[in-house]
Chains A and B, each alone.
Chain A
Amino acid sequence: MKPLTKAGIILIVIGLSFLVSTLYRSTSESGNFSTGTMMSGLEPNAWNVEWNASLPYTPRFLKYFLIPREHRMDIQTNTVIDVYVLDSEGAQLWLAEGKLEPTFSFEGVRQQVVTFNIYNRDDYSFLVHNPSADNAPYTLTVNGYGIETDLLYLSLIITVFGAVVTIVSFIPRGSGRRKQSLANKKTVLPAAVLAILMLSLSTASCAAQFQASSILAPSWMKEGTYVNYDFTQTGKSYSNGVLDTSKSHTVYFLNGTRIQSRNVTSVIFRWECTNLKENMATLDVSYSVTSDLASDNFYTSTLVDVDIANRRVSFQDGTLIGTTNFWLPSSPADGQEIMLWDVPPDKVTATVRAKQPNGEDLFTGQTLEEPQRIFMLQNITGTMNGEEVNEATFWGGGMYEYDTGLYVGGPIRRDSLFTALGIDNSDSPNSMTTNVEMGPAKIVINWGYVLGLAAFVGSIILVAALLLIKRRRQRR
């Protein structure tokens, strides 16, 4: 085979390998990040930039590394905002000179999913402007989909170039004596590429699917039932290899004040049922921040009455606070409508999402020791205290254990139990402990370990068996 033909075939293989990889990569989403100011919102006529100072090896501000593919941005806000996507040059220009030269701009948006195509692998920034006279709480959720165009073009160019080189190599050159017939040339197919394709097979697991009827009043609520949600920061922070223990925690209050604790060791929100008569439960609700510094400790608690059937919360003097969503009806059907807030004339409803897009059940082990089946909420709509709410501002992202309906993770947003304490936090707990008996945990088999062990033992048996057979043959 001519060296040129060989080079052409190798180029084709390189191009096809890139193409196969690019197609495979297109099946995964990228980005998957959310940004925004949920609590305080963006002030009227204000601009916002995202400062990313927490991650190592990432430039300190404004930067999300986006790859050339289609991106969808879900914009959620109560009012109208302008969103600008800036590339690194645009970001620098805006910061240094205040000049706005966005790569993409979406002006006057409220609740909308917009799409934009990134063409260069680069850092991008999301600049938000609130042109209205009201505060604008907002979230931007960005996901990338589809084929990475730069890799696609690269793979096609290499493949075509390889094909051209291969064809050129077959063109006879020189005198007639040296001419070679194309028909006599053997073509070598890069069969190896096809073999490698087999490596991209993936496995899928199955889970049992069933739906049960919803139960409004939780059967698990008894005197002594409690749940502790732990909000303590779990991420270890090191500075030059030394553990940084100076964790701080801020508690925001409904009256606009806040307190900050330093050297925090634990942040616990707890509710406990101290009394239960028919559907009326008395809950002891508390929020405690424990610090190494005695002056930075914080503790507050109160007793509230809760109708466990409709989850209405009131102070012990009968003053209605609202509806709690620390538990919801158990075993809801996928798509079922659930009431999240019912204080006439205001109502907030949501629909249940109990399945993944592929039809499989949802599971989480985020705050629990073992993965549990869960459901989440979507399409949150309605009004609360006369104000429109949505997933960005009210309980969006909350996760509920399927069999009990108990809240097990995701951000807590404006719940009545927090309101009873006068607190306005929207954190997500890192872990929880409870004496509520949840549904069966998902059995997780570490197939990697099982397969690895089988492979390791198999390799030894294989070699041993071969040596044994060889020795027997030699004896004969």
Chain B
Amino acid sequence: MAQHKFLGLIRWELEENLSLPLLAFLVASAIIATMINYNFSSPYREYTRLFYSSSTVFLISSLVTGAFFARSYAGSIGRGTTKIMLSYPIKRSQLFLSKFIALFLVISAIYLPVFCVHVYVDGLVAFGPMIILSLLGLFLQLMLTCSVAVGISMVTKSEVVSILATVLLLFGLDSILGMWDILSAQGRLFHLFQYFGNEFYGTLPFLSWDPVTANETLLAVLAPIVVFVVLIVGSFVYFTRFMEVD
């Protein structure tokens, strides 16, 4: 019965987020983010194009993901939807998780396949290691963004402030750290490319930069995962145990 309710909640969230014009907005943002920033400077068929093209995808996906999660969590609290939902025999944990799963599924299912347009546009091999690494980089960024958005939504309970704070925080951090830093979105991808590029092909993708170690690459991958786990678990505990829904 509980499982049935949970699945019903997920279906309800999916219908909510797959409705027009939200779906149209998501699809348009994913296509434009993927296509608009293109590395025209190199005349060669090379995987580093993925790296240089990814900055806009990271920026716009963070913006969109932050907005959608903040709208769903903080927005529903602000509009009173959460209160109404909780007046039914629904557990708080089910509500929290159903929102998260539905939104994350929708955004990932749109952004990750659209990013694969690069296979055609850049003339790359489908399912090549660098494509998969790029998708991993994008997936990690989506995880980081949604956890930050959920965390801020829990604190502020204000839709507008949550969207603004999430976007500004992530954009600000990435800009301050720079595109090569281990903790920035592009820096993470750089470490993945530099390490695995050398491992797979025996040559560094970015010749003018030093090789990176396995530990640095692991740190680049683990950092967003740790932030994600801490923020999501913290938000979950806060939402299910402490938060007053008024």
Contact with B along A137-154 (1 / 0, CB 8 A): 000001010000001000
The answer on a CB contact under 8 Å between A21 and B32 is yes
Q: List chain A residues, Cβ under 8 A from B121.
A: 67, 121, 151
Is B2 engaged at the interface, CB distance under 8 Å to the other chain? Answer: no
Is A33 engaged at the interface, CB distance under 8 Å to the other chain? Answer: yes
Known: A57-B205, A241-B211, A458-B168. A449 touches B43 (CB 8 A): no
Is A439 engaged at the interface, CB distance under 8 Å to the other chain? Answer: no
Instruction: Tell me, in angstroms, the Cα distance from A467 to B157 when the chains sit together.
Output: 10
Known: A9-B24, A21-B31. A199 touches B60 (CB 8 A): yes
Q: List chain A residues, Cβ under 8 A from B130.
A: 57
Is B45 engaged at the interface, CB distance under 8 Å to the other chain? Answer: yes
**For residue A454, which residue of chain B has the nearest CB?**
B172
Is A16 engaged at the interface, CB distance under 8 Å to the other chain? Answer: yes
Known: A16-B28, A55-B44, A452-B174. A192 touches B36 (CB 8 A): no
Contact with A along B205-217 (1 / 0, CB 8 A): 1011111000000
Q: For chain A, residues 71 to 99, give those with C-beta under 8 angstroms from any C-beta of chain B.
A: none
Instruction: Tell me, in angstroms, the Cα distance from A263 to B246 when the chains sit together.
Output: 73
Most chain B C-beta atoms within 10 Å of own C-beta, residue among A1, A13, A121: A13
The answer on a CB contact under 8 Å between B172 and A458 is yes
Q: For chain A, residues 35 to 84, give those with C-beta under 8 angstroms from any C-beta of chain B.
A: 52, 55-59, 63-67
Q: Which one of B81-89, B139-147, B194-202, B224-232 is at the interface?
A: B194-202
Contact with A along B176-193 (1 / 0, CB 8 A): 101000000000000000
Is A114 engaged at the interface, CB distance under 8 Å to the other chain? Answer: no
Q: List chain B residues, Cβ under 8 A from A448.
A: 175
**For residue A31, which residue of chain B has the nearest CB?**
B43
Is B23 engaged at the interface, CB distance under 8 Å to the other chain? Answer: yes
The answer on a CB contact under 8 Å between B168 and A52 is no
Residue from the list A6, A123, A200, A457 in contact with B36, Cβ < 8 A: A200
Is B20 engaged at the interface, CB distance under 8 Å to the other chain? Answer: yes
Is B242 engaged at the interface, CB distance under 8 Å to the other chain? Answer: no
Instruction: Tell me, in angstroms, the Cα distance from A13 to B31 when the chains sit together.
Output: 10
Contact with B along A440-476 (1 / 0, CB 8 A): 0000000011011111111110110011000000000
Q: List chain A residues, Cβ under 8 A from B175.
A: 448-449, 451-453, 455-456
**For residue A35, which residue of chain B has the nearest CB?**
B43
Contact with A along B33-74 (1 / 0, CB 8 A): 011101011011111100000000000100000000000000
B-side interface residues toward A, CB under 8 Å? 20-21, 23-25, 27-29, 31-32, 34-36, 38, 40-41, 43-48, 60, 120-123, 130, 152, 155-156, 158, 161, 164-169, 171-176, 178, 197-198, 201-205, 207-211
Q: List 30 A-B contacts (CB under 8 A).
A: A10-B23, A13-B28, A17-B35, A21-B35, A21-B36, A24-B35, A25-B38, A25-B40, A56-B203, A56-B204, A57-B48, A57-B203, A63-B44, A63-B45, A64-B43, A121-B120, A122-B123, A151-B35, A188-B20, A191-B21, A200-B36, A234-B208, A235-B208, A238-B204, A240-B202, A451-B175, A452-B171, A455-B172, A455-B175, A467-B156
The 7 nearest A-B residue pairs measured at CB: A452-B175, A456-B172, A192-B25, A21-B35, A455-B172, A459-B168, A17-B31
